[in-house]
């Protein structure tokens, strides 16, 4: 009985020794080959000092393994000493080793993908300090333009390198983004635009079911669209958010083999496996396929291998059986890679964490520090299903509402190409005297505010008779409640400039999207002027609205006035009757006010006059600022049946209809005081006839006083600077219009 047991013991010893040796070799080989365990850092092998440290860590690990072997041998010797005394349950005392065997290799297997997407080492810089990074994006329409801004903010927040953005755009996105970047004035950022219409013929022959339409195929044309001397570019979808420096992604180009031309992350859904539903037949792909939300394109090599012809041949071949693409350019990229797998460089999946439903995205990260790029590639966007979606949503909202002015920081040590606008601005700043009591007012005049035109969908079809009129106004967050009422009173086009912070702009967006009235009005252009500085640049904001009116005539109003019902049609008729196309006229719309928040709005002039007599309505500001509208001559208006001319008087500030090419508002006037008065004065200097319309009116609705009027009333310094600006305006008017402008100075002195 003793000999068979000794034989079994020898066999056990031999087996355990083999296990120990194999385990030690596995760990040693894994550390030497990959250098990617948590103990041996991949970042440490780049310098001689790092290699010495790596060797020391390896030797320490070997000593640990030897100590483990010594402990096991000790256990075995104890086992031999008790060979005739079997342990309870027949385990022969190896419970500790069994536990180690259960946890070791299994944990390695379960966390292999997580370890591949996680590192705790500091990253060594692999991109030169001032190396220019090129980023391309296809953008079309109003909504995509908003998405691009959030994408750009996330890139600018983390970046340490100069950037060159290449946008393939339709006419709408071109207008929006070119204006935005010109006014944003971010140092060390270049922007180029390419007309998507010129590329449509390259892809219009491809049937596409994807919601992105023809623009979803444009990335296939980048070797042709982008400059021929551009060697490589990062290509991004608009629904991307960066959580790290884009230079880390740019550095991966250096890891490409000589044959690799495209860098992509594996698709994290089962789409290309073809098992999502019965008879699901996706385009051919390599394994799970690749997602094209983030692409590294080695343009120079792609051109060399004849990319344009190759993707065309691939698309033509597959379309014979597939009939159309379902995922736009992604289907064609994958079919091409299936045929040419040697050309693709697979990126770690944290470079494109795809947040569509039912993806494997959770395997791409174990910690927040692992996240690199978040891709909202589901039509549901922020409503997608993911157990960490709240974290991702908050990260996205951080950049969505982040103050873009804070991203205008210089890259120290990197030369920045100065634009003519920035040079002009710098010169104007240097001319200012910081000891001037009115320095802040003068500084505000030359401040360049970011402007995002057409923040929401806008559609306008010109009328054929050239009589159309746009209502032009400006507002801030505290007047937002007036928008629905104005839209109900005015059915014509509207150009509104909104002075808001980035966060307030998003509040406005949610408000507009929730309003049935605003959602149904596509002929209202909303233009965001982003807040900066301590004053409300009211005339700058007005000018943004004025410049972006698309009709021959404009009605210059304020947002807290409601126009009479039918005023739009009445003004169009008046434009013809008064021959405004061939004369210089400013049509005055008489202004009234109510002190009641709830008003039964008059439907006619007769009804208004009745309410005026009853004390329900008043002529505008008759009790606090009579001079502002007294020249309208309300007594004459009561009985007038035809338009009548009035003369300019000091402090006259009526609301008028003029040609769109009228003088702009003088931007030196900020906050409260003289912002409209100065404009009417210049209209008169240019010999506009002021014609009061007999059957038109508008009513001012009550609201709390603005912050600026409170500053005017309480600050002697504010009033002093306003008076100084008035005098300087008069001087400028005299220089511009000569002796004809002397009457304004005389009138002012007689007040």
pLDDT, averaged across the chain: 84
Strand partners, 529: 451, 499
Does 155 map to a domain? yes
Does 700 map to a domain? yes
Does 51 map to a domain? no
Looking up residue 699, the CATH number of its domain turns out to be: 3.90.550.10
In degrees, rounded to 5, the angle at the alpha carbon of residue 478 between the alpha carbons of residues 473 and 484 is 60
Residues 145 and 177: beta-carbon distance below 8 Å: yes
Does 634 map to a domain? yes
Residues 202 and 172: beta-carbon distance below 8 Å: no
Indicate the range of 124-128, 305-309, 445-449 predicted with least confidence.
Answer: 124-128
Query: Are 357 and 482 part of one and the same domain?
Result: no
Query: Are 397 and 511 part of one and the same domain?
Result: no
Does 82 map to a domain? no
The pLDDT confidence band at residue 78, using thresholds 50, 70 and 90, is: low
The pLDDT confidence band at residue 383, using thresholds 50, 70 and 90, is: low
Query: Are 401 and 487 part of one and the same domain?
Result: no
* Confidence at residue 95, expressed as pLDDT on a 0 to 100 scale: 34
Residues 555 and 467: beta-carbon distance below 8 Å: no
Does 127 map to a domain? no
Query: Are 504 and 391 part of one and the same domain?
Result: no
Does 378 map to a domain? yes
Alpha carbon separation from 542 to 340, 528, 655 (Å, rounded):
57, 11, 13
The pLDDT confidence band at residue 371, using thresholds 50, 70 and 90, is: confident
Query: Are 456 and 379 part of one and the same domain?
Result: no
Query: Are 338 and 481 part of one and the same domain?
Result: no
* Confidence at residue 691, expressed as pLDDT on a 0 to 100 scale: 98
Query: Are 462 and 382 part of one and the same domain?
Result: no
Query: Are 381 and 474 part of one and the same domain?
Result: no
Tally Cβ neighbours within 10 Å of residue 348: 17
Query: Are 476 and 403 part of one and the same domain?
Result: no
Query: Are 180 and 308 part of one and the same domain?
Result: yes
Mean of the pLDDT values across residues 10-28? 55
Mean pLDDT is highest, among 2-11, 97-106, 341-350, 369-378, for 341-350
Q: What is the DSSP string of 529-596?
A: EE--SSS--HHHHHHHHHHT--SSEEEE--TTEEEPTTHHHHHHHHHHHTTTTTS-EEEEE-EEE-S-
Query: Are 459 and 399 part of one and the same domain?
Result: no
Mean of the pLDDT values across residues 681-695? 96
Domain that holds residue 672: 451-746
Does 90 map to a domain? no
Q: Is residue 541 predicted with pLDDT exceeding 50?
A: yes
- Give the tens place of pLDDT for each residue, 632-677: 999 999 999 999 999 999 999 999 999 999 999 999 999 888 899 9
Number of domains in the chain: 2
Q: How far is it, in rounded angstroms, from Cα 433 to Cα 689? A: 40
Indicate the range of 255-269, 361-375, 437-451, 655-669 predicted with least confidence.
Answer: 361-375
């Amino acid at each position: 009985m003793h000999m068979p047991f000794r034989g079994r013991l020898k066999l056990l010893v031999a087996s355990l020794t083999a296990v120990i040796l194999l385990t030690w070799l596995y760990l040693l080989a894994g550390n030497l080959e990959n250098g990617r365990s948590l103990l041996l850092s991949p970042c440490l092998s780049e310098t001689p000092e790092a290699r010495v440290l790596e060797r020391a860590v390896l030797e320490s690990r070997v000593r640990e393994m030897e100590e483990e072997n010594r402990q096991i041998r000790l256990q075995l010797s104890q086992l031999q000493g008790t060979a005739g005394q079997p342990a309870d349950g027949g385990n022969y005392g190896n419970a500790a080793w069994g536990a180690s065997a259960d946890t070791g290799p299994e944990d390695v297997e379960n966390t292999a993908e997580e370890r591949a997407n996680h590192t705790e080492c500091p990253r060594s810089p692999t991109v030169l300090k001032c190396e220019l990074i090129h980023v391309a994006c296809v953008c079309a329409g109003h909504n995509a333009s908003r998405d691009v801004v959030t994408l750009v903010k996330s890139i600018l927040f983390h970046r340490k390198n100069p950037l060159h953005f290449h946008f393939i755009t339709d006419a709408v996105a071109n207008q929006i983004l070119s204006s935005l970047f010109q006014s944003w004035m971010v140092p060390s950022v270049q922007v180029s635009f390419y007309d998507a219409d010129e590329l449509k013929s390259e892809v219009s022959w491809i049937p596409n079911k994807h919601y992105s339409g023809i623009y979803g195929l444009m990335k296939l044309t980048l070797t042709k669209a982008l400059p021929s001397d551009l060697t490589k570019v990062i290509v991004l979808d608009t629904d991307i958010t960066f959580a790290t420096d884009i230079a880390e992604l740019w550095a991966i180009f250096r890891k490409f083999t000589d044959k690799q031309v495209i860098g992509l992350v594996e698709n994290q859904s089962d789409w290309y496996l073809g098992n999502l539903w019965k008879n699901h037949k996706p385009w051919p792909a390599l394994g799970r396929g690749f997602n094209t939300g983030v692409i590294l394109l080695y343009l120079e090599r792609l051109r060399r291998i004849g990319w344009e012809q190759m993707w065309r041949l691939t698309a033509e071949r597959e379309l014979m059986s597939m009939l159309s693409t379902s995922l736009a350019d992604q289907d064609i990229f994958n079919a091409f890679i299936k045929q040419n797998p040697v050309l693709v460089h697979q990126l770690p999946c944290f470079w494109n964490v795809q947040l569509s439903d039912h993806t494997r995205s959770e395997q791409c990260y174990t910690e927040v520090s692992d996240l690199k790029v978040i891709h909202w590639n589901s039509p549901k966007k922020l409503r997608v299903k993911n157990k960490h979606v709240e974290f991702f949503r908050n990260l996205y909202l951080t950049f969505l509402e982040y103050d873009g002015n804070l991203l205008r920081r210089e890259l120290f040590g990197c030369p920045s190409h100065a634009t003519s606008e920035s040079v002009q601005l710098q010169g104007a700043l240097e001319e200012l005297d910081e000891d001037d009591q009115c320095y802040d007012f003068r500084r505000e005049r030359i401040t360049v505010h970011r402007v995002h035109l057409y923040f929401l969908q806008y559609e306008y079809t010109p009328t054929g008779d050239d009589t159309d009129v746009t209502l032009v106004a400006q507002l801030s967050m505290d007047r937002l409640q007036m928008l629905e009422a104005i839209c109900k009173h005015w059915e014509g086009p509207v150009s509104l400039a909104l002075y808001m912070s980035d966060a307030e702009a998003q509040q406005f967006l949610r408000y507009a999207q929730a309003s049935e009235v605003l959602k149904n009005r596509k002929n209202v252009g909303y233009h965001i002027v982003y807040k900066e500085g301590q004053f409300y640049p009211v005339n700058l904001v007005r000018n943004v609205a004025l410049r972006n009116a698309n009709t021959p005539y404009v009605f210059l109003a304020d947002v807290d006035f409601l126009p009479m019902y039918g005023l739009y049609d009445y003004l169009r008729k008046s434009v013809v009757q008064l021959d405004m196309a061939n004369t210089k006229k400013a049509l005055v719309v008489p202004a009234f006010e109510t002190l009641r928040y709830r008003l039964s709005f008059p439907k006619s002039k007769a009804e208004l006059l009745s309410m005026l007599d009853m004390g329900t309505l008043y002529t505008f500001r008759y009790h606090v600022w009579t001079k502002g509208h007294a020249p309208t001559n309300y007594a004459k208006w009561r009985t007038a049946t035809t338009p009548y001319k009035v003369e300019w008087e000091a402090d006259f500030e009526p609301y008028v209809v003029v040609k769109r090419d009228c003088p702009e508002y003088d931007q030196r006037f900020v906050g409260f005081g003289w912002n409209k008065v100065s404009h009417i004065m210049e209209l008169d200097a240019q010999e506009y006839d002021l014609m009061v319309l007999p059957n038109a009116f508008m009513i001012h609705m009550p609201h709390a006083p603005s912050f600026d009027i409170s500053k005017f009333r309480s600050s002697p310094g504010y009033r002093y600077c306003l008076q100084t600006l008035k005098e300087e305006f008069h001087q400028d008017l005299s220089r511009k219009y000569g002796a004809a402008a002397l009457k304004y100075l005389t009138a002012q002195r007689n007040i």
